[in-house]
Structure 1
Amino acid sequence: MPQLEVDGATLTYDDEGPRDGDGVPLVFIHGWTANRRRWDHQLAHFSPKRRVIRLDLRGHGESDGSGRRTVEELAGDVLAVLDHLEADRFIPVGHSMGGMIAQTLALEHPERIERMALVNSISRMTYSRGRGLLMAVSTRVPFKLFVAANIQRAFAPGYPREQIRECIRASSATPREVVMTCYGAMRSFDVLDRVGEIRTPTLLVHGYHDIQLPVSQMLRMAKAYPDAVVRIVDAGHELPVEKPAELTSALDRFVTGGA
């Protein structure tokens, strides 16, 4: 289990697949309260033929350290790992908060981005009334209840309850300080007026039933991208968990130059 010390944190990562394989490395970045295991299906599919890098963001999974207060700081952690691994050019694939990190990397280091894929992610946080109320009471309810309420509503109707409970258990293991500071980082994230600067081909994959980050917000973002392909999947916000094979198929077509 390789690890790297970065600014007071120990970041755990995986670096698998042939370095001389098909194309530049894929870099998978998970979302809020998740961990690098979200990408197990994609790692198994891509690593036999292509270099794949994934990491646990600080305070998540098997990485320690306190939370970052801005998405830019989180992106700095990812870049530190990639620099250590000498991955000069890469394809970031980010889910939710991970997609915000990917957009930040594309804006700040465009010369290093081959392509980019955003999964259930947006460029500006805009809350529905229900999410706004949830945020308003978040500091007044037990921490595990706050996490459970967010994770529960992330899945499409009818998704198996036991698998939802497993995701809630995993997310609840993330320290409260990390959960809340990263939540604040997402709340303040806003690059919608800048995404027109991102000229790299971009895949936007989104769950039709996503009420965390509604598909309407993603489509608003898509209009601003100069070179974007949109895929809508019959899933909620947790697309890597709900429909891993469909996501992998969409990514495979995209990274090999297909639509």
Structure 2
Amino acid sequence: MIREAHVNGIKLVYREEGDPAAPPLLLIHGRTANHNDWNGITQHFAARHHVVVPDLRGHGASDYPGDYPVPDMAEDIAGLLDHLEVGRAAVIGHSLGGMVAYQLAMNHPARVERLVLEDVAPPLPFKDRPPLVEDDSTGFDWRMMHDTERQFLDPDPGWLEGLASITAPTLVISGGSASPFDAAATAARIPGARLVTIEAGHLVHATERRAFLQAVDDFMNDGLTTT
């Protein structure tokens, strides 16, 4: 079901699936995508979780406020958890969504039960990247593209230090040799993080869905007992 919340000064549209009484799980899409990027993934997790899938600000049907600091995007998600009256949730983020997810885990450690970062670039200066050129693509705010690109190329140094403060059990999934990002460098900065490499390129959950779901299920089930 598609719903909307007014949080952190903006409208955030989100999709819900699964039993609201089940353990909550947030899925946060990457740049230029929206909640539909997780189609097929949501149904898998909804069998055991209350799945919440937002459109980030500047994407899909959520507001386009023109201001896109990644930490503010994480505050949007914290506000969404407040709106849902959810104290703690497992969080899965892809690419930009992973940056938002680790900001949430850094700044609101009590809110993140488990953290999955799918092919997320480490918050280090990025060189040799071609300039961003606008085309006729729609469904997102091009101002968001330019604003997040600046943060991606020259991230706040505090973000790298902040990774070391993450306390949630963390799984980092790398897309392997075809990925443009060194996800292993992200994993190395997070205490106790588990690194899994799936040779799929950047869109792991779409290109190698079965392997992605298996890796996440194994991580989510680790340490749990059944009776």
Q: Name the TM-score, length of structure 2 as normaliser.
A: 0.88
Q: Which residue of 1 aligns with 2:160?
A: 192
Instruction: Assess if the C-alpha contact under 8 Å between 1:102 and 1:116 holds in 2.
Output: yes
What amino acid sits opposite 1:175 in the alignment?
A: D
Taking the aligned partners of 1:59 and 1:96, their CA distance within structure 2 comes to 15
Change (3 A) 1:189 1:50: same
Q: Percent identity, aligned pairs only?
A: 32
Give the corresponding residue for 2:193: 228
Residue 42 of structure 1, CA deviation? 1.8
SS of 2:113 mapped into structure 1? coil
| Residue of structure 2 in register with 1:208 after alignment | 176
Q: Which runs of 5+ in 2 are unaligned?
A: none
Structure holding more strand per residue:
2
RMSD: 2.1
Deviation at 1:34, TM superposition (A): 1.1
Answering whether residue 135 of structure 2 is matched by residue 144 of structure 1, we say: yes
Q: Distance in 1 between matches of 2:220 and 2:67?
A: 30
Alignment-derived partner of residue 183 in structure 2: 218
Q: CA 1:113 to 1:239, structure 2 compared with 1: closer, same or farther past 3 Å?
A: same
Residue segments in structure 1 that go unaligned for 5+ positions in a row: 146-168
Aligned partners of 2:126 and 2:152 also within 8 Å: no
- Number of residue pairs aligned between Structure 1 and Structure 2: 221
Q: Are residues 194 and 7 of structure 1, via their aligned partners in 2, closer, same or farther at CA, if it must alter by over 3 Å?
A: closer
Distance in 1 (CA, whole Å) between partners of 2:118 and 2:43 is 18
Check conservation: 1:58, 1:67, Cα contact below 8 A: no
Change (3 A) 1:198 1:71: same
Partners of 1:72 and 1:31 lie apart in 2 by 15
| Residue of structure 2 in register with 1:248 after alignment | 213
The structure with more helix, counted as a fraction of residues:
1
Distance 1:8 1:83, change over 3 A: closer
Q: What secondary structure does 1:114 align onto?
A: strand
* Dislocated runs of 4+, deviation >4 Å: none
- Tell me by how many angstroms 1:258 deviates: 6.0
Report the counterpart of residue 176 of structure 1 in structure 2. 142
Amino acid at match of 2:213: T
Structure 1 contact 14–55 (Cα < 8 Å) conserved? yes
